[in-house]
Structure 1
Amino acid sequence: MPAHRPQPSAQTPARPAVNSPHQPLSRRFSVAPMMDWTDRHCRFFLRQLSQHALLYTEMVTTGALLHGNTARFLRHSAAEYPLALQLGGSVPADLAACAKLGEAAGYQEINLNVGCPSDRVQNNMIGACLMGHPQLVADCVKAMQDAVSIPVTVKHRIGINARDSYAELCNFVGTVREAGCRSFTVHARIAILEGLSPKENREVPPLRYDVAAQLKQDFPDLEIILNGGIKTLEECQQHLKTFDGVMLGREAYHNPYLLAQVDQQLFGSERPVLGRFEAMQSMRGYIAAHLAEGGSLHHITRHMLGLAQGFNGARRFRQLLSVDIHKTAEPMALFDQAAQLLQGR
């Protein structure tokens, strides 16, 4: 695949990202990689709300990149920067090859998934099951670091069933650190690999922020990013007293307007906060370009349904953009109708 960096078209103006691909990333605030959610349309929308938040792709497996539609999996707009690619895999050579593809496409970080608990990925030695194989994770990280010049990071749990002691967590982090990894995003729950669904694994195992905090204390040279259960920017500010960064997942997706305050509250930006209506308007050019390519409005607006959360009219807003959208012959008119519900907000 030829190396190229996708650029936004003239039809899709966007606020420039604060980081170029060559500047160091800030992981002070990031949005978690989420399967079926953080696709390129979601990321473009979230970028309208925050210039500084680090965004992650959905997990992309090495098999999909090496044997599937590589260009489709790596496609993104430069307007999404700062942007990281999350990979799923456990074969060092394959991960190295995919990391090179990601760097050539313009991604600014490669992140290895060592946290997903689903049966499907376990069967392919991907995700949380790798916490039981710290040396293999270290070999994977080393292979990727040798292949690229951008940072290679790891996202993991605090343990898995049968390997959930603090000593085992320290062994995992220490082993991967020896391979050269300097940034770890810690989902502060264990993963139970048998008997719980991925959804249950995000809710049933208790959050143990104390374990993650102890990890930061015992590995002060490492960048430790906290993930799991964080819902407000006030909580983010408290956690940033202990950790180097915070990562939000479901809350950032279901309540995306939370990101509108991130730059001011967490990065000290003086840029005016974008209103909800203005956020809608900022997407018009991008949506028009997508429709011109033969795409569907729903591909984009499904990620915007939470923009009206907490307001009268939120139900009507969601109905327009998730139900009525499939019946209309004039998608942009319907989009504008939904946007009017946010006028002045």
Structure 2
Amino acid sequence: MDLTGKLQDLLGAAVGQGMVPSAVCAVALDGEALPVLSAGQALRFGAGGALLPAAEQVPAEPGTWYDLASVTKPFSAVAVLALVRDGLLDLDEPVAARLPAFAAAGAADPGKQLVTLRHLLTHTSGLPGIWDGWRQPLPDRRAALASLLSVPLAAEPGTGFSYSCVGYNTAMALAETATGTAWEALIQQLVLDPLEQDGDITFRPDPGHCAATECGTPDGRALVRGEVHDESAHALGGAAANAGLFGTASGALRFAEALRGGFPEILPGPLADLLWQDQLDLMLGPAAAEARTGVGYGQSLGLRIGQLGWMGADAADARGHNGFTGTCFLTDRQRRLSVVLLTNRVHPTRDGTGVVPLQKAVSEAVYAAA
């Protein structure tokens, strides 16, 4: 069986076993994209999680948009590095120097004065993973950002690795302050336009062409389709640095291949290299060895390195990212391949089966073929 047939069987089996309601997969080998594959139903359940009649269900197609969730973060990292390119941001300058709202917490939380942009992008800032401020009444995005920036550190900067959506949204606030431009516009101008995404990656998809996510969320939404699933990003207006982008498989593959090629349309070589270089030794110093024992993979400015649990056994040199909604991509310079797998595994509920076995099986099939 050829690779396309193997991948189609994997997607169909995952849908048939109830692992995911739908899945779309895109692969490039040595720069050549294979046909985009799809299986299952992009919309299967209605408000409250009730199974829809067959006539009202919507099949997944190669062009279906999926909520990328934390796969948004690599796009955010590229945008921030473009601002470093332009001299508007500095990776190693304290964030408090340019972001007054972050600095305001410094008196009660002096460690915040030491946090740099590089800390934020490598999850070594000491900020907690999540911001629960969305649970409170927030009149507007300004109030939401003020709440997020007031979150105290959970650890001293540079003493450990702790995955942090708060850190990425702090980087977003820094970028907006430095440029006077809204984050959505920055992503469009600095990343999506140069890569000619043509609507394949967007913060504002057509809901009718989107895979649905959760039915009944903690923030009170009966059915989420075409708006970001992540509560923090939703409270921040939908366009955030931790989550919020929607993408087709072909759009995400174009990003992965651009990453493999070094983003010549966007970044000079030394900055593009930072997306590939493991930063943990630099950021954590003596604490790096212990961090690696607990984490088991490397971290660049925005990307996971060799996260074999979902990337597969042969992917030690791969870079990529996964997302809570059941999305992932990876790219490998040595093996000259890129893999995108988009699912809506949180439809109708986030408490279903994990998608990691499918991600790993797809990746390993591609590596075997390569």
TM-score by length of 1: 0.30
Higher helix share: 1
TM-score by length of 2: 0.28
Higher RCO (CA < 8 A, seq sep 6+): 2
